[in-house]
Amino acid sequence: MLFNSRIFILYFLPAVYAGFVFLTRIRQERAAVGWLAGASLLFYSWWNIACLPIFLASIVMNFVFGTWLARSPSRSLFLFAVGLNLLALAWYKYAGFLFQTLDQIPGVSLSVPSIVLPLAISFFTFQQIAYLSDAHDGRAVEHSFPDYLLFISFFPHLIAGPITHHREMLPQFTQLLRSGGEVGRLTVGLTLFLTGLTKKVILADPIGTYVGPVFSLAREGGIPSFTLAWSGALSYAMQIYFDFSGYTDMAIGLGLLFGISLPPNFDSPYKARNIIEFWSRWHMTLTRFLTAYVYNPITLALTRARVKSGRPVPKRGKTTPGAFATLTAGPTVFTMFVSGVWHGAGWQFIVFGLLHGIYLTVTHAWHALKAHRPSLVRPETRVKTVFSVLLTFLCVLVGLIFFRVADVGSACRILLGMAGHSLRQPLSMPDIAGVTATQVLALVVLGLIVWFLPNASQWMRDYRTALEPEAGFPRTDGSFFALKWRPTFAFGLLTGLVGTLALMRALSAAPTEFLYFQF
């Protein structure tokens, strides 16, 4: 069930919200938990009810293991439970890719199994692994099964995030229901929902129509012209930006309707001045998970090994950049490899992850060099900032090509086109005509929105929307923006007009999936 579909907007959401308000007003707290959990399971099974038993089995299994680990921590039990989660993820998401890869080896003949990929398996698997880890370490408090079920299945974030944490979600359920339901944030929640819907159906979907032909040409073996390659890549960068940020706004807005604040997950990543900052703004909850449960444990293990062997531990600014890089490069590249594999089964996703691992390693090395040699530090200027943002965006753009294509070869052909492969001969009229004035104008308008207008959290900065980000994930200061949302008649009229346009567009055509649904 899609947020931008008729069934969700006209039937599912009003019915679920009405039932929730009724139950909380008559103080039926446990019934309200069951109502939201049941509605979330219906939401999940709407796409394919055959995936529901797998989803429920995963929730029950991890609740039982988490309860045991919270009562009696056991390293063996923890590893066994995590192993079962990873085994299920590997089978449903990666078995087909593995069999297909092995089948290409000369002399090997394998039949590729037909496996239905359960919706959002990457999201709810990572979420539950984090819970198991905290239960093992004594940082998770026992909760009832209905609360845990709602924590995992809460429909606003279930399909494409944010990846929530038990410490920030389970207490909210308890506080919300004991207070009889905080349903007074209807205005802010609906405004965010309509903002996200507008991004999806008014901005992301139209620019996405220019993406398919270019990438299809590359998949069929053709090399796009210089203009087509760049227009296709830029169009996809804008499509995924507004598609993902639109989903995030809609998810956070839906959470607010039920008095639940979700964590921030998208904070103007194309404004980032380096790749480290980019990953603190793009899919912030995934970065948080990978940092806490992949990067930090590996770095800690390497540090302990160095201390045990009597070798010094490199520290930024106090040792040479090369020594510091030896400690961070491996964990960084491996963590981003995990990020790439998490996003999908295919060599293109592996390249995407490794590419960003290299980006991050180079950035960390540069920062370490500047810390070691302060003379390299130059004052921040507007020109320097613009150059840093554009360079970072170019690196991200290259990575996004691998994110979108069906195989590595297609990505290489698009990169060849962007590098000017077609410029060896004069551009033909079909090449130039392939990029319309409408597309160019759309890209310009979207670029102005991305780099010069506030995002949703900045626009509504006087009102609490998402949870405060954890340390290491600073939110962008929006104080220099004059544009600010207020619950006035003028803003209400503007929101109503734009929201009505978005609703009319969403309800008048078949809904398109959000790009992150495939993960």
> What is d(CA 363, CA 356) in angstroms, rounded to the nearest whole number?
10
Encode burial over 93-131: b for 16+ CB neighbours within 10 A, e otherwise.
bbebbeeebeeeeeeeeeeeeeeebbbbbbbbbbbbbbb
What's residue 482's pLDDT?
61
Residues 6+ apart with CB under 8 A from 322: none
Domain boundaries, the chain: 6-197+245-266+451-518, 275-281+288-450
Token readout for 35 is 């109502």
Is residue 4 a contact partner of residue 511, using CB atoms and an 8 Å limit? yes
Q: SS3 for 60-76, per residue?
A: HHHHHHHHHHHHCCCHH
Helix 226-257 vs helix 437-452: crossing angle, to nearest 10: 50
Token readout for 127 is 């979420």
Residues 6+ apart with CB under 8 A from 211: 232, 235, 236, 239, 404
What's residue 487's pLDDT?
78
What's residue 108's pLDDT?
67
Is residue 119 a contact partner of residue 159, using CB atoms and an 8 Å limit? yes
Token readout for 175 is 């506080």
Q: Which of 409, 294, 442, 405 is nearest to 357 (CA)?
A: 294
Amino acid symbol at 125: T
> What is d(CA 348, CA 354) in angstroms, rounded to the nearest whole number?
10
Residues 6+ apart with CB under 8 A from 247: 3, 160, 196, 200, 514, 516
If residue 351 lies in a helix (H) or strand (E), which one and from where to where? Answer: helix 347-372
> What is d(CA 9, CA 457) in angstroms, rounded to the nearest whole number?
23
Residues of the chain with pLDDT under 70: 108-113, 176-184, 314, 316-326, 422-434, 469-482, 519
Helices (H), 258-269: none
Residues forming the active site:
343
Query: Against a cut of 0.85, is the pTM above it?
Result: yes
Amino acid symbol at 298: I
